[in-house]
Structure 1
Amino acid sequence: MEEQKLLIIDGFNLLSRGYFATAYHQSEDQLPKNDQGLYTNALRVFFQKLFNLIHTHQTSHVTIAWDVKREETNRRQKYDFYKSSRQALPEPLIQQYETLTFALTDLGIEQLTIPPYEADDVIGSLSNKWADVMQSPCFIYSNDRDLLQLLNPHVSQIIAKNKKEHVYSQSDFEADYQITPDQWIDVKALLGDKGDNIPGVKGIGEKSALPLVQRYQTVEKLYQALPELDATFNRSIKRLTEGKKDAFMSKELVTIDQKIPYFDQFDLNRLNYVPKQEYITTILSDLGINVRLYAF
């Protein structure tokens, strides 16, 4: 029996990257459309990457994780500033998302949207369950570095490095950062995230955040040690003291939920996917999309 392998794709991450990469310096009316008048630039990138990943990693199970609407997430419901500065998505991207979800259903590829959770939480909970139950490889496809906290002996993230994609494992992460993946949460709590409006600790940058976590392990232990902080970090004491509330709030916001109750009784066999080349070709042709397919 071949080894079972799961591929989880961060849906909006891939679709939006494909859209903006191919829409650069183009107006909406310059973007390619199919015979039905539907935009296709991001769809072509998405499907090319999807089937390339399935072929390259010889996966047996596949799913796409989608976000719910920004205003409906549990983080936004608690903190109204969370991701509040993000701009509305372009209409051609929204249209391609709608087209894509229908096409993936026709292809028999499972899609997961679980209100009020974000795609990160879906990815975290599913990869955690897969690792516990199957104890076999799980590949997360996304360039979102927040997901590095999910790495474990079975879960890796496929990320771009030096213009190539690499399977980035727990051991790779620990060699690079000298902390464990779950401690990445504490680094992010101190750094914050401007794109998501997560404040972090003002004045604490990358040169300070990682050494602090390497030395004190967690945000909680760091603040316990604050009165007697190592002299190396004297410049950070005032900043940490003033930013304590933001540090703990930021840690709450950056922590990915790995225990969504939905997955307690979830049947992992739902994610089994065996590509049927002729069927794939037919569906993509109907959409006016040409991609390079492999012999599955």
Structure 2
Amino acid sequence: MEEKLLMIDGFNLLSRCYFATSYGKEMHQLTRNSQGQFINGLRATFQKLLQLNRLHQPTHLLIAWDVKRNETIRKETFQEYKGTRNELPEPLIQQYETAVAFFEQIGLAQYTIPRYEADDILGTFAQKWREEKTGKCIIYSNDRDLLQLLCPQTSQLIATKQGELNYSLAHFQQEYGIDPSQWVDVKALLGDKSDNIPGVAGVGEKAALPLVQQYGGIEQIYDELPTLDDRYKRYINKLQAGKEMAFLSKELCTIITDVPTIKEQTWDACCLQIERNTLVQALASLEIAIKIS
């Protein structure tokens, strides 16, 4: 069997499952087990993981978790980073803690590394896999920041209105007309409201992607600023005023792909070897009923 790596953005999956199963409900209406543990998001999460395993049959699997948002490298660089986000609901935090314990119990590889975000963990493993393996690498996340990691080996599973799409390098190039490495340049101009990354004020989607398509990246855009194509003349002053924010935003948007502790890892820890009885017992201990094929 050809080796295949499936990487899960842990909080992305768990939070989506949590909010999908808690929508319109008060805390007291959320499903709990007899021990009082919230399990509404956990059941959906575990069900999804089993489905992903059946569909993609990975030989290696890992789950990446974020550290607290105030403890990241990017927060050190820019204090306002993710500063507009609300606190996580207590039931979601509890289910994160339960999920970590559950995955440890059944022997799934999971990683939380101080000062680094899940994106950096995924980015470093993706780069390491590209350098050391020939099989496919699939990232499960709806976070489009991760599109910068796409390559012939690496794709991203993204939920769409038509269902889940295994979004490849070809999909990206057809949609955006740039290389995935240039995605950070588009984001540097646009910014990101969800992460509170400023971007360049006044430069929106109509200009950001075409600028990168034509000039290659923000370094080249600023080198060519006095002689930009006529269709961008009205953005010159905005680009000049936002130069510092553009380069800061690019730094914040760029996924780190050389986290030292990951570069030293062997792939043995990520080999997918879950014993059925262990999985059944772990689910039973949480009182979560899921059909296991």
Alignment-mate amino acid for residue 271 of structure 2: N
Partner residue of 2:291? 292
Q: How does 1:61-210 map to 2 (within 5 A)?
A: 61-210=60-209
Kindly indicate whether the alpha-carbon contact (under 8 Å) linking 2:124 and 2:259 is maintained by their aligned counterparts in 1: yes
Q: How does 1:5-24 map to 2 (within 5 A)?
A: 5-24=4-23
Q: Could you tell which deviates more after superposition, 277-286 or 210-219?
A: 277-286
Q: How does 1:215-294 map to 2 (within 5 A)?
A: 215-294=214-293
Q: Distance between the aligned counterparts of 1:279 and 1:266, measured in 2?
A: 25
Q: Distance between the aligned counterparts of 2:262 and 2:33, measured in 1?
A: 38
Alignment-mate amino acid for residue 42 of structure 2: L
For the pair 1:43 / 2:47, whether they are aligned, the reply is no
3-state DSSP of counterpart to 2:83 = coil
Kindly indicate whether the alpha-carbon contact (under 8 Å) linking 2:31 and 2:39 is maintained by their aligned counterparts in 1: yes
Q: Could you tell which deviates more after superposition, 274-283 or 128-137?
A: 274-283
3-state DSSP of counterpart to 1:194 = coil
Cα deviation for residue 141 of structure 1 reads 0.3
Partner residue of 2:212? 213
Cα deviation for residue 69 of structure 1 reads 1.0
Kindly indicate whether the alpha-carbon contact (under 8 Å) linking 2:124 and 2:256 is maintained by their aligned counterparts in 1: yes
Cα deviation for residue 15 of structure 1 reads 0.6
Q: Could you tell which deviates more after superposition, 51-60 or 280-289?
A: 280-289
Q: Distance between the aligned counterparts of 1:166 and 1:57, measured in 2?
A: 13
3-state DSSP of counterpart to 1:195 = coil
Unaligned stretches of 5+ in structure 2?
Answer: none
% identical equivalent positions: 50
Kindly indicate whether the alpha-carbon contact (under 8 Å) linking 2:8 and 2:141 is maintained by their aligned counterparts in 1: yes
Cα deviation for residue 86 of structure 1 reads 1.0
Aligned-residue Cα RMSD (Å) equals 1.0
Deviation sequence 1:234-270 (CA, Å, 0-9, x none): 1211211111111000000000001111122210111
3-state DSSP of counterpart to 1:29 = helix
Cα deviation for residue 102 of structure 1 reads 0.5
Alignment-mate amino acid for residue 24 of structure 1: Y
Alignment-mate amino acid for residue 194 of structure 1: K
Deviation sequence 1:189-244 (CA, Å, 0-9, x none): 10000111100011111111110000000100000000000001112112111111
Alignment-mate amino acid for residue 246 of structure 1: M
Cα deviation for residue 277 of structure 1 reads 2.8
Cα deviation for residue 187 of structure 1 reads 0.4
Q: Distance between the aligned counterparts of 1:205 and 1:193, measured in 2?
A: 11
Cα deviation for residue 274 of structure 1 reads 2.5
Q: Distance between the aligned counterparts of 1:164 and 1:123, measured in 2?
A: 23
Cα deviation for residue 276 of structure 1 reads 2.9
Deviation sequence 1:108-132 (CA, Å, 0-9, x none): 0011011110000000001110111
Kindly indicate whether the alpha-carbon contact (under 8 Å) linking 2:107 and 2:274 is maintained by their aligned counterparts in 1: no
Q: Distance between the aligned counterparts of 1:216 and 1:209, measured in 2?
A: 11
Q: Distance between the aligned counterparts of 2:277 and 2:162, measured in 1?
A: 32
3-state DSSP of counterpart to 2:139 = strand
Q: Distance between the aligned counterparts of 1:204 and 1:173, measured in 2?
A: 22
3-state DSSP of counterpart to 1:39 = coil
Q: Distance between the aligned counterparts of 1:206 and 1:41, measured in 2?
A: 37
Cα deviation for residue 272 of structure 1 reads 0.2
Alignment-mate amino acid for residue 145 of structure 1: R
Kindly indicate whether the alpha-carbon contact (under 8 Å) linking 2:182 and 2:216 is maintained by their aligned counterparts in 1: yes
3-state DSSP of counterpart to 1:135 = coil
Partner residue of 2:24? 25
